[in-house]
Amino acid sequence: MKWVLAVLLLGICATTLAQDATARQPEPNTRVPQGVVRYAPSGFPDRIVASPAQDAATGFSVAWRTDARVSAPSLEIVVAGDSPDMGEPRSIKATSTPLKTENGEAHHHRADITGLQPDTLYAWRVQGDRTWSAWHHTRTAAVVTAPLTLLYFGDTQNKNVSLTTRVVREAMRAAPEARLALFAGDLVSGGDGEDDNEWGEWFEANEVLPTSLVVAPAPGNHEYFEEFEDTPQERRVLGAHWPVTFALPGNGVAQAKRTTYWFDYQDVRVVVIDGTSALDLGTAKAQAAWLDDVLAGNPHRWSIVLTHQPFFSPREGRDNVLLRQHLLPVIRKRKVDLVLQGHDHVYGRLKNEAPTPVFVVSVTGAKQYRLSDEARKTMRPVAEDTQLFQVLRFDGPRLRYEARTATGRLYDAFELVDSGTAGKHLVEHAEGRIEERTCRRAETLKGRADRCWE
């Protein structure tokens, strides 16, 4: 009997040891091991990203990076053709800005391309040190009545190569015709001494997206850092990467010039506001007045406000009162159709009495929080523990919105239909949606019970 017990005990010990050896460890924020240089700038152009001009039918801008040997390089552009000989390209000189990071000194370049023909496929490339990028293809926006598909991503923020990559790929598979990608802020986490690695990961995770579509990002709080942290002088300062990483239209409000902007893409006016600046830097009133002006002049059928911090927060313990006080009245008055948001690392669509504005919060990246009880009452559908992307298809008087999970399954769908003088109404599409998802984990691998995954 004794030896049977001994064998049993040994067996239990061996099993426990095996489980310990294979216990899952929290994943680091980037795939770059300490002391390894993965994203140093070189003479080869990288971090190439196109963004829309104020009028996306006639122009776009491109940002890219090289090492510090390259100053004022060129961008070449030509109408794309089937022959490898696409003719004599037009050459545009870039402006260059230095940036020192943990990966060495880089030069970030920006070229603005104007005077393009609408609905035209252009081939373009950017210059490095005695070398060039591939020829990339970007189509300018068409006439306002043409159909448009765009993608909307919530926070990507953490572990971008590891876990954002698959969502971006799934989104591009689901909507290969998409022309424009909106990112609702916190593209990276930052503030940890490896900001540049994180931006390197963001571009790696997005693969061909930033050179195939035009990218419009909103700044999140993680694009800022705290200066003089834990002192009376503590204040938010915009991170050095933001202004040089994207070539944005630069038509924002004076008080938040580098982080607010707007543009027209066919029949949609997109306005990007800066929630962090509104909440922490006292610009809510100024942004509201500017937003009112930009929306008052909108000749198009549709309008989107893209912003990071939600007007109605689905996460416990968060409430952005200043946004509702100053900016919400403008959004309601100007009948904005969609308010696309991030920040709370869950999914939630606010139940509205009126069909518009539709307020959505979504998340793309690995970090997952928990819903508040209030959100469970006031929003539908909601989700925890789910990576998502959204596809928006505009076609004349109809806008179809779909939220899909990281595996491409339908999570939320509705249509907004414009009946002209009768206004817009919302049609729910519940068919084909998967069941609502909730977090089934008691705590994260780091032992945090207030989060679902990190």
Residue type, 421: T
Token duo for residue 408: 């491409």
By beta-carbon proximity to Fe ion, the closer residue of 220 and 314 is 220
How many residues belong to the chain?
Answer: 454
Q: Which residue is nearest to Fe ion (CB)?
A: 343
Query: Could you tell me the smallest distance in angstroms from the CB atom of residue 171 to Fe ion?
Result: 21
Task: Pick out residues in 217-276 that bind Fe ion (CB under 5 A).
Answer: 220-221
Residue 226 CB: number of other CB atoms within 10 A?
Answer: 14
By beta-carbon proximity to Fe ion, the closer residue of 241 and 343 is 343
By beta-carbon proximity to Fe ion, the closer residue of 138 and 309 is 309
**Helices 195-206 and 165-174: crossing angle, nearest 10°?**
30
By beta-carbon proximity to Fe ion, the closer residue of 122 and 359 is 359
Query: Could you tell me the smallest distance in angstroms from the CB atom of residue 275 to Fe ion?
Result: 9
Task: Pick out residues in 337-356 that bind Fe ion (CB under 5 A).
Answer: 343
By beta-carbon proximity to Fe ion, the closer residue of 169 and 451 is 451
Q: How far is CA 291 from CA 90, 321, 428, in A?
A: 35, 18, 29
Query: Could you tell me the smallest distance in angstroms from the CB atom of residue 423 to Fe ion?
Result: 33
In whole angstroms, give the CA distance from residue 48 to residue 45: 7
Structural contact between residues 216 and 51, judged by C-beta atoms closer than 8 angstroms? yes
Query: Could you tell me the smallest distance in angstroms from the CB atom of residue 67 to Fe ion?
Result: 31
In whole angstroms, give the CA distance from residue 451 to residue 370: 6
First to last CA, the chain: 48
Q: Is 74 exposed, middle or buried (0-12, 13-18, 19+ CB in 10 A)?
A: middle
Number of separate helices (H) and strands (E) present in the chain: 10, 26
∠ at Cα 62 (395, 225), nearest 5°?
A: 100
DSSP 41-58: --SS-EEEEEEE-SBTTT
HSE-up of residue 308 (Cα within 13 Å, Cβ side):
24
The dihedral through the CA atoms of 442, 445, 450, 451 has a sign that is: negative
Query: Could you tell me the smallest distance in angstroms from the CB atom of residue 413 to Fe ion?
Result: 26
In whole angstroms, give the CA distance from residue 435 to residue 443: 22
Residue type, 169: R
* Count of residues touching Fe ion (by CB under 5 A): 4
Task: Pick out residues in 130-189 that bind Fe ion (CB under 5 A).
Answer: 186
By beta-carbon proximity to Fe ion, the closer residue of 315 and 343 is 343
Query: Could you tell me the smallest distance in angstroms from the CB atom of residue 244 to Fe ion?
Result: 21
DSSP 106-171: EEEEEEEE-SPPTT-EEEEEEB-SS-B-PPEEEEPP--TTS-EEEEEE-B--SSIIIIIHHHHHHH
By beta-carbon proximity to Fe ion, the closer residue of 108 and 343 is 343
By beta-carbon proximity to Fe ion, the closer residue of 384 and 402 is 384
Query: Could you tell me the smallest distance in angstroms from the CB atom of residue 259 to Fe ion?
Result: 14
By beta-carbon proximity to Fe ion, the closer residue of 48 and 279 is 279
201 touching Fe ion, by CB under 5 A: no
Query: Could you tell me the smallest distance in angstroms from the CB atom of residue 45 to Fe ion?
Result: 30
Query: Could you tell me the smallest distance in angstroms from the CB atom of residue 219 to Fe ion?
Result: 10
Query: Could you tell me the smallest distance in angstroms from the CB atom of residue 217 to Fe ion?
Result: 13
Query: Could you tell me the smallest distance in angstroms from the CB atom of residue 440 to Fe ion?
Result: 24
By beta-carbon proximity to Fe ion, the closer residue of 153 and 263 is 153
Mention every residue, 6+ apart, whose C-beta is less than 8 A from residue 353.
none
Residue type, 293: D
Q: How far is CA 344 from CA 7, 134, 305, 366, 391, in A?
A: 51, 37, 17, 12, 20
By beta-carbon proximity to Fe ion, the closer residue of 94 and 216 is 216
Task: Pick out residues in 370-429 that bind Fe ion (CB under 5 A).
Answer: none
Instruction: Give the footprint of Fe ion on this chain (CB under 5 A).
Output: 186, 220-221, 343
